[in-house]
Amino acid sequence: MKGAPDHLIEILSPSTESNDKTLKRSLHERTGLGQYRIIDPFEQTVTALALENGRYVEQAVTGKRIPVTYLNDVDVDLNQVW
């Protein structure tokens, strides 16, 4: 397989949280990962990032659903996650 996937959901753990939020984010940005979601189950937060012009731009996450924009009409129900 060549290239980066279209979408990745990262679920944080206490032991790797720092690396996930900095090193992995930078790596995924450089390799062209289109959509990157960082889920913090302890804080019950979601950071939604989309690659635009080679850089990640944070997208608003409102309510209890996370859209997966490259799949029409698909989203993640956070009520099922928390």
Judged against a pLDDT cut of 80, whether residue 35 lies above it is answered with yes
pLDDT category, 15, cuts 50, 70, 90? very high
For 51-70, the pLDDT digits (tens) are 999 999 998 776 777 766 66
pTM: 0.76
Residue spans per domain, the chain: 7-81
The span from the CA of 2 to the CA of 80, in Å, is 33
For the domain spanning 7-81, the CATH number is: 3.90.1570.10
CA 8 to chain centre: 6
Rounded percentage of the chain residues whose pLDDT exceeds 70? 87
What is the per-residue pLDDT for 4?
63
Instruction: Please say if the pLDDT value at position 1 is more than 60.
Output: no
